[in-house]
Structures are given as C-alpha cells and as structure tokens.
Structure 1
Amino acid sequence: MTMVENLPAAQGHGALAIQSAQSMWTPEQRAVLASMGVDAECSNAELAGFLHLCQRRDLDPFLKQVYLIGRYDRRAGRKVFTPQTGIDGFRVIARRAADKSGTDYEYEDTIWFDKDGNPHEVWLTGEPPVAAKVVVIRNGKRFSGVARYAAYVDTDKDGNPKNQWKSSPDGQIEKCAEAKALRRAFPEDLGGMYSDVEMEHLDDEAPQETIQAQTIRATVAAKNGDAPQGDGLATKKQRNEIVQLLSGKGIDDPAKALTYMSIVTGRDVTRSDELTGAEAAQVMSALNRGAHLDDPNFASETDSKETPSGPQDVPGGDQ
C-alpha cells in the first residue's frame, strides 16, 4: 500500500485536506479546529502531536472521527489538550480492521435497562436509562459491552447532567457501550483506546491516584488528630461521591449537609466547593464510618436551622 492510499479521509485537494508531508496545521485547518474548541491555549506541541496521530491512524477530525479535547489540569495550571477518538472513529477503525482481515461484523439490537433491571429495545421515558448493552458479532462470536449511566454521565458542579447527557442520555450511554463492545471485538486495533464520550465525566477532575492519596492522608490525619492537609480544592468526582454518601445516610437537606461537613472538618463550611481535596476525603471517610451522625451538635444545629428558599448551595457544587 502506498502512502497516498493510506492517507486520512480528509486527503484531497480541498482547504481542509490533510497532506502526508505537512508537519503543522494550515491556517484554514486551524480556524476550523478553533471553532471545534481547540483554542489559543493549545500549544504547538499538542497541535503537532494531534496532526501526527490523525495521519498515523488515518482519522479525520473534520468528520468528527477524532477530537483534540482541552481539560483544565490543576497540576499544570492550564488547560491540557489530549486526542480522543469519537465513536465514528471507532467504527472506521473497526471497519478497516475487518476488511483487512477478510472478516465482517454486525450488531445486535441495543438494549437499555431501567432502574428495576427491565430491558427495553427502545428508550421512551423522560428519565435516563440505568445502563445500556451493545453486542458486536465478529466471526460468529459475541462481544458485549455494558455501560452504566452513573459511571459515565458528565455533570456540572451541582451534579446535574450537562450537554448531550442532559438532552440525549440514552444515546450517550449507548455510545459508551458500543465503544466497549468494539474494543473487545477488535482488541488489536482498539485496545487501550477510549472514545470521547467515555471520557467526558473526567472534566475538571484530578487523577484517581491523587484522590486515593488524599483519602489515605485524611485517614491518617484523623487517627492522629491532625488537621487535614491538601494541595487543592475537591474534585467534581469527590463532591458527587459526598452527595451520594449523604443521601445514603438520609441527609438530603443542604443546611444539614453543610453542618455535617463543618463538624467533620472542624471549621465553618458555608459552601461545598470550599472543601479541599483532603477535607472531602475526610468527609467521605467519616460518612463511610457513620461518624458524627449522632453528634448532639449536629442534631441540635440542624433542627434549629431553616432551609432558605430559592437557589441554595447543594452538596457537591455551587451556583
């Protein structure tokens, strides 16, 4: 196969055509990338690396097969851009792999599940499905992918679904399930790759190992009676986990939630987004142990507080 035959779909003579010899995006290509969210914060090194990936994988960003996604990195102190393959890119790679091996593949009908575990061939309710299942059949073998909505939904600081997760939750979770199924059916070509929709929930989050380290530090500090130590504010993932734990303990009132966090951290917490990462880990640890739930101060303070009307600072986010 010649280099020309192995070029991305954008190859050709148009203004957006990606050429094999180019080492940087043209002004026309850069303008379109900017309209797709690749703003001035994106470095030349990140742009060059993205171009190389598009050329090597034969994927076209202008056909939404692959994206360059910017997410704020607290450690770097800036938005960091990383390439992510769209579900259309997954399908293109799978099709090429099947054609190359002289095989074919097909899908079974997607199945969505409600909160009671009942299967649905079509999702018609206004509530998001609990999970979706996609099955890819390759060479007569079934490769299934199941994705839970709670594990992938992208939320705002208040814990509410945003963007397409709000308008089309069934379609979004279906894409996640399809990506998992395709990875299993084509491990040589898609192994280790994750679609953009699978990664959206990681926006504004610290790496998981950082959260685990904060949890360990908070546990040790609690045992030693020391104040919590943290390097930054709590992540969205931590705040959402606190919301779930509070709800599981029957604490749904914002005023009670803030009082509980104040008792655990030993300071007056007036907004949940004030928590540091270590303090959030400390609150989660206390909730898991059931600590302070019977504290007289917690009971008396929450009983005397009235929940303000109108917009409130709910656990897990700000206004």
Structure 2
Amino acid sequence: MNQVTVMPPMAPRSYTDNQLQLIHQTYAKDCTAQEFNVFIEVAKRYGLDPFKKQMYCNIYNKDAKPNDKKQRTMVFITAIDGFRGIAERTGLYRPDENEPEVTTHKEFANPDSNPLGIEKAVVTVWKMDQRGDWNPIKGVAYWDEFAPLVEGYDEEDRGETWDNSGNPKMTRIPNGKMMLDPKNNFWRKMGRHMLAKCAEAQALRRGWPNDMSGIYAPEEMAVADADEATAAERVERAEQERLLLATKTKDTIMIQWRAGDPLEAVTLGQMVDRCAAFIEQCASPTQLETWRHINKHSLQEFFARSKSDALEIKRLLEEKLKALQADEPETLMAEAGE
C-alpha cells in the first residue's frame, strides 16, 4: 500500500508596498481598490504568486454602472502550472505519463474555425485515496465549447482613400461565418495544446474541488474573451437555456442552428420544415456536418419520436451534402483559374 504524505500548505506570501503597486498596475490593472484587496487575499489563499504569472485578474464589463443590466464581473485566472502546484501541495497528485487524448475528424475541419478538425481533448490526472491507491480522474474539453470563435467579416471598399497613404478605406461587413479570434493566434497554431490545457483544468478541478473552486485557466476563458457578451451575460444566457430545457414540453425538440446560438424549442410538427429550410441554405459540407454534430442527440430523440419525419430530414441532409461535395471540385478549379 502506498504511504500518504500530505504536504503542508504554503505560507501566504507578503508583499511590500511597491510590489503591491506593481501587481495592481500589471496583473490586476482594472480592479478597484476593493477588488484588488480581494484578489490579493485569494492569491494568498491559493498560494499563487502573480509575479510568477501564476494568477491574474480579469474584469468583464468594467465600465458598467450600478444599475446596468450588464454587471461588472471579476474572474480569477490561474495558469495551468498554478493548478498543478495547488494539487501537488496536497501530496495526493501525480500527472499522467501519457500524452493527452485528442480526437479529430476530417469532417469537422474548417480553415477558419477549426483547422485540424478537433472534436475534443481528454486529459487524465491521478489522485491518491485514503487507502493509498491511485485513482484516475479524467477531464474532457470539447472544441466547440472552448475555442474562441468570433463572427467573420468581409471588407467592402467605401470609395474613399486615406489622406496620408492614398490607400482605400474599407468597411468590415459581418458575413455570418464563425472564425477563430484573430487576437488569440495560439488556438490556430497550437489547437491541440490549448484544448488539452482546458481538459486538464477540468480534471484538476474535479479532483480537488475545495482547493480550486472559483479559479479558471486562461484557456478556459478564451471563449469569454472572444465573445462580445460579458461573463455575466454568458451566465444569464446559460440560465435561460437551462430554464428552456426544464420547461420543454413533450411536443418539442431542442435545436441549435449554429455553434454559439441559443437552443430553440422546435415543435415536432415544424421540425421537417425548419430543418429543410436550414439545410437548403447551407453553403458548405463543413457547415452541414457541424450542425449534425452539435444536434446529434436531438436528432436521435426526434428519430425515436417520429421516425418517418426523421428519415426525411436524413434524406434531405444527405442529398444536400452530396450536392455540396460534388460542387467543391468545380469551385476549387474556378478559384484556381482566377
């Protein structure tokens, strides 16, 4: 039997006045005085050092007024090394010797939103129980839940030029297509690595909930940073979707038309028409496959409740997919000719 050795908690670090001022100006620059006091106390509690970049603070909707619907929200961000350090100090943690399990599918690949076609990442950490046995704890992170996606845009010439350079002035027009946040290029260059960090943070928080509640890895918050909605709005939106699910009647199916959209309750009688209209306007195989993937369980539920109508949707989807795939070589040839 393994011997359990629990490490003593790290003594809270004290800071000089100059060090506190520097932390406030760098790692908690948007905090009010009261928020900064909270941040420092939380950092001491977890034994994390901002100077080692183990912890910093994000303020969402920082210009909100007291009566605004969009509330000012403070979130504590911890690097993955900080998570590991907290777990290691308990004496009950060891990392997995295997690399993260990253699942990819060619049909999920999209050069703008998912270059490698990643579906999910699974990371295992190990925790020792009271008997001294090591138990695996898995964390799972899905690409469509954590990747920082924003709406893409096309540039339109305004017919004007800049005085200093003579270059044309361009206007950005949203095109409805999702793309990885250009301000966070790590997700494009190291997608597997970034998603694995999210999965590891999930595993560590599951294994040590009392030690890590209320702190988040920066990779976990990338999607909130990319989303125009504030963190508080995202919580409100999640609550609305939860209530919608809770009040779902027996005559509806929950459908998400596009990644990032809220769920919609579609009546059984409208399912074929609504899905047919969506399928018809899809412009690429990837768009169709993504829609089918995120609604996999809903479509299975519809099949169980209305088999003939579900088969009609399946037929429409496969015909549209076949047509789009047949058009792709011609489109590519035309683009190459240009």
- Contact persistence 2:76–2:214 (CA under 8 A): no
> Which amino acid in the other structure matches residue 149 of structure 1?
W
Q: CA deviation at 1:58?
A: 1.2
Aligned counterparts of 1:116 and 1:242: Cα–Cα separation in 2: 26
1:251 corresponds to 2:281: yes
- Contact persistence 1:108–1:136 (CA under 8 A): no
Counterparts in 2 of 1:27 and 1:211: CA distance versus 1, 3 Å: closer
> Which amino acid in the other structure matches residue 52 of structure 2?
L
TM-score of the pair, normalised by structure 2: 0.51
Q: CA deviation at 1:149?
A: 0.8
Other structure's SS at 1:6 match: coil
Aligned counterparts of 1:45 and 1:200: Cα–Cα separation in 2: 25
Aligned counterparts of 1:7 and 1:186: Cα–Cα separation in 2: 20
TM-score of the pair, normalised by structure 1: 0.53
- Contact persistence 1:135–1:145 (CA under 8 A): yes
Q: CA deviation at 1:81?
A: 3.3
1:183 corresponds to 2:202: no
Aligned counterparts of 2:242 and 2:89: Cα–Cα separation in 1: 44
> Which amino acid in the other structure matches residue 133 of structure 1?
V
Deviant stretches of 4+, over 6 Å: 214-217
Tell me which of 176, 179, 186 is aligned to 1:160. 179
Deviations 1:105-147, CA, capped at 9 Å, x for gaps? 2314211111279xxxxxxx95152111111122321111111
Deviations 1:254-312, CA, capped at 9 Å, x for gaps? xxxxxxxxxxxxxxxxxxxxxxxxxxxxxxxxxxxxxxxxxxxxxxxxxxxxxxxxxxx
Q: CA deviation at 1:83?
A: 1.6
Identity of aligned residues (%): 23
In structure 1, the partner of 2:221 is 199
Aligned counterparts of 2:204 and 2:237: Cα–Cα separation in 1: 30
> Which amino acid in the other structure matches residue 12 of structure 2?
L
1:174 corresponds to 2:196: yes
- Contact persistence 1:134–1:144 (CA under 8 A): yes
In structure 2, the partner of 1:241 is 261
In structure 2, the partner of 1:83 is 76
- Contact persistence 1:42–1:80 (CA under 8 A): no
In structure 2, the partner of 1:94 is 87
Counterparts in 2 of 1:83 and 1:211: CA distance versus 1, 3 Å: closer
- Contact persistence 2:198–2:220 (CA under 8 A): yes
In structure 2, the partner of 1:311 is none
- Contact persistence 1:67–1:196 (CA under 8 A): no
Deviations 1:52-111, CA, capped at 9 Å, x for gaps? 11122211122121120122276465764322222121011011112xxxx442314211
Aligned counterparts of 1:93 and 1:151: Cα–Cα separation in 2: 25
In structure 1, the partner of 2:11 is 6
Counterparts in 2 of 1:214 and 1:238: CA distance versus 1, 3 Å: farther
Other structure's SS at 1:42 match: coil
In structure 1, the partner of 2:102 is 112
> Which amino acid in the other structure matches residue 236 of structure 2?
E
In structure 2, the partner of 1:295 is none
Counterparts in 2 of 1:88 and 1:215: CA distance versus 1, 3 Å: closer
Aligned-residue RMSD, C-alpha: 4.2
> Which segments of 5 or more consecutive residues in structure 1 lack a partner in the other structure?
12-17, 118-124, 218-236, 254-319
Deviations 1:223-277, CA, capped at 9 Å, x for gaps? xxxxxxxxxxxxxx9983279x999534246xxxxxxxxxxxxxxxxxxxxxxxx
1:134 corresponds to 2:161: no
> Which amino acid in the other structure matches residue 127 of structure 2?
R
Deviations 1:24-74, CA, capped at 9 Å, x for gaps? 9633333333xxxx44x4311111111111122211122121120122276
> Which segments of 5 or more consecutive residues in structure 2 lack a partner in the other structure?
1-8, 108-113, 129-133, 153-177, 245-256, 264-273, 284-338
| Paired positions, count | 209
Other structure's SS at 1:7 match: coil
Aligned counterparts of 2:57 and 2:93: Cα–Cα separation in 1: 30
